[in-house]
């Protein structure tokens, strides 16, 4: 239908121009960039918290093992088997064995013949270290002798070839309490200056660990 008086009036284009679309895409990209960091930090913080809770659960099971199964003595095995003695004793089994898996790693413990959670621990002599995310006390080199249990380390994040967490290593003490060591914290500044590589590789666990309390652990 022709409307009188509209002759020569240019029609307005419909939709968005290319410039408008590019502006919108740029704004969305900026918003995603701004929000990505906090989201990632929140996810990482959640993994650290869950990991620390799992170490506390291992500590509780260890106390039960000592009190009910081993006359107050610690497991005689070293490294990961020090911790997996709980599975061997039936205190941690099935789906609950996932407590040995830090949420910050791709480790799995259902790679045994049956495919069931924890089945990879049934071949006691050939346990793959990647089926557990934590390092255990080296009872051969550092047998537990009592003393102040709140300062005696019995387990921590593994970090062997991978970082359980970006900068934090969670720690389990003999009294069942947990703590953490942050390589970016103020008290670790001198350590980071002396061993700058640990910021990319994570704190190594075992006799070569620059943080002395974790030298009593093994990851095999």
DSSP 44-79: HHHHHHHHHHHHHHHHHHHHHIIIIISTTPPPS--T
69 lies in some domain: yes
> What order of strands is seen across the sheet that includes strand 178-182?
178-182, 168-173, 153-157, 134-137, 217-218
Show the 3-state SS of 136-174: EECCCCCCCCCCCHHHCEEEEECCCCCCCCCCEEEEEEC
Answer yes or no: is 189 within a domain.
Answer: yes
- How many domains are contained in the chain? 1
pTM of the model: 0.78
Is residue 9 in some structural domain?
A: no
In a domain, 12, yes or no: no
Domain containing 54: what range? 18-218
- Residue 126 included in any domain: yes
Among 28-32, 89-93, 172-176, name the one with the lowest average pLDDT: 28-32
Residue 88 pLDDT exceeds 80: yes
* Any domain includes 72: yes
Predicted local distance difference test score (pLDDT) of residue 145: 74
Mean pLDDT of the chain: 84
What pLDDT is attached to residue 73? Answer: 87
How big is the chain by its Cα radius of gyration, in Å?
27
Instruction: Give per-residue pLDDT as tens, 155-182.
Output: 999 988 778 888 889 999 999 999 998 8
Domain-located, residue 84: yes
- Cα torsion 77, 210, 51, 90 to 10°: value is 0
Q: Is residue 111 part of a domain?
A: yes
For the stretch 99-152, pLDDT in tens is 999 998 888 888 877 888 888 998 999 998 889 999 999 999 999 876 667 789
């Amino acid at each position: 239908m022709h409307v009188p008086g509209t002759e020569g009036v240019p029609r307005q284009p419909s939709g968005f121009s290319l410039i408008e679309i590019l502006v919108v895409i740029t704004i969305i990209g900026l918003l995603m960039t701004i929000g990505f960091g906090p989201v990632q930090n929140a996810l990482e913080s959640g993994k650290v918290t869950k990991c620390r809770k799992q170490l506390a659960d291992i500590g509780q099971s260890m106390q039960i093992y000592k009190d009910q199964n081993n006359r107050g003595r610690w497991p005689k095995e070293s490294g990961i088997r020090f911790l997996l003695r709980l599975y061997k004793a039936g205190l941690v089994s099935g789906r609950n064995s996932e407590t040995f898996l830090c949420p910050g790693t791709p480790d799995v413990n259902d790679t045994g013949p049956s495919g069931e959670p924890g089945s990879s621990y049934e071949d006691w002599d050939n346990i793959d270290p990647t089926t557990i995310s934590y390092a255990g006390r080296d009872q051969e080199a550092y047998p537990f002798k009592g003393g102040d249990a709140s300062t005696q380390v019995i387990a921590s994040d593994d970090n062997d070839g991978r970082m359980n967490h970006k900068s934090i290593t969670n720690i389990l003490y003999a009294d069942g309490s947990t703590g953490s060591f942050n390589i970016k914290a103020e008290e670790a500044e001198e350590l980071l200056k002396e061993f700058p590589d640990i910021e990319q590789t994570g704190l190594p666990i075992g006799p070569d660990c620059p943080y002395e309390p974790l030298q009593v652990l093994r990851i095999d």
